[in-house]
Amino acid sequence: MTIHKVLLVDDEDDIRTIGQVSLSRVGGWQTVLASSGADALTKAAAERPDLILLDVMMPGMDGPTTLARLRAQEATAATPVIFMTAKIQKQEMARYLELGAVGVIGKPFNPLTLPADIKKLLPST
């Protein structure tokens, strides 16, 4: 899978800023930012990213709910989603994969290795 554009969804400004720098400068990918689940649904449909990095815990619509809504939209039904979360115990990670995520990246993430960590989770990148 080739990545050109990534949608990063997180309610924390710092995470979005660091993530954007990592994804664009280290990964060389165009990065679109969303600050909420609702924002993610709109931007994902309009921007058609190759991948969505999705925070699990957000106010309003959390990550799992956002993922379910993304899967219900024709434009994003097949877009790979990787959850980002500080909660990375085995049972939680298994639940995220059962919900349809292709992987989970722990927070805080390393900005220098984030693109490589993403590639490891995606098939044939």
- Domains belonging to the chain, first-starting first, are 5-119 (3.40.50.2300)
Rounded distance between C-alpha atoms, residue 44 and residue 102, angstroms: 17
Alpha helices in the chain (DSSP H): 13-21, 37-47, 63-72, 90-98, 114-121
> What is the model's pTM?
0.95
Distance CA 45, CA 97 (A): 22
CB atoms within 10 A of CB 24: 14
pLDDT in tens, the chain (125 residues): 899 999 999 999 999 999 999 999 999 999 999 999 999 999 999 999 999 999 999 999 999 999 999 999 999 999 999 999 988 788 888 999 999 999 999 999 999 999 999 999 997 64
